[in-house]
Structure 1
Amino acid sequence: MTSHKAIVSGISGRYAIALFELAVDGKAVPAVEADLASLNAMIADSSDLNALVTSPIYSSEQQLAGVSAVATAAKLSPLTVKFLGVLATNRRLSSLSGVIRAFEQLVADHRGEVSATVISAKALTKAQEASLAKNLKAAIGSDVTIDAAIDEDLLGGLKVQVGSQMIDSSLKTKLDNLAIAMKGVQ
């Protein structure tokens, strides 16, 4: 396994590493992963919860009370509840989205998965995603999780980024390259 420091960094990374190590020791990685995914969705869906987590106008006591109420209502695991309490007490709830992303990276590394960012002109179907994941796995040699995004400016094709490697087979790039080549002919 790669060093945790090589995967994540900064304040969010340090908190994610601490949570990940506690989850591994307590054999609670799947539960914490599910809790954080659920919490992330709740924050995205609720402007009030988002404000509570990100706004500095709330005191640490108010943030602690708020996240404790949310955690209880959502029936989050005890480790996640304690972790949210630590973040609130230390005035680090604003780093929660970064902690969640870093935790996801640590879990993926722990499982031997690689994350690929795929940008397409239209949303990929499940079959297309599965086929792409299969082809990427064959090329890379590891399981690949796909983080899909849409950019209509691409016109067609894909941009795939795995780590520092970028594969750009978008129609826009091909047309841009053709235009540059045509200018050179004149």
Structure 2
Amino acid sequence: MPFLVTYLNKKAALVTFYIDVLVTPRANDVFNSVYKFGVGQSTVVCWAIVSVQSAIAMYGALFYDASRPYSAMEAGLFAGFHRFFWALGMSAFIIIVIFGKVPIINPLLSSKVMISLGNLVYGLVLVHPIYQYWGLGSLRRPEYLQYYSAILTGAGDIFLSLITALAHLFDC
């Protein structure tokens, strides 16, 4: 749309930031007709692109479907770009949270419950590998993966990590 407005109305290509524009930007014709609209439109377009890219990054679950036909192009594109797309989507989300452009997220993330949960998760992240290394280091023989033992080991690992993280949270 900025292209059409600029082309049809024979406007300047960009807002020239001279003193008069810096003092009263609303008096500038290019600012009012092209610039504001272009910034809003580019924000919407960027959000759409980031949303699509983040959805593509979560597309990997489809590769577990054995009945799905293989496509070398699809597999190559996914392998090459899914980490980048996911990082871009997470970066955009973090920037939105930091600058507070979504009114629902800021009060939610700054509530006491979320701060406590954040500290608890941080403690879990710090303590969790200790119990995994402890369990792996104490093995005296090769272990074969079975559903029951995997669930039991995982539940025990999570339970011990959670107890230790709670002790860290409450400074016990």
Q: Which has the larger radius of gyration?
A: 2
If the length of structure 1 is used for normalisation, what is the TM-score?
0.28
More strand by share: 1
TM-score, structure 2 length as denominator?
0.30
Higher relative contact order (CA 8 A, sep 6+): 1
| Structure with greater proportional helix content | 2
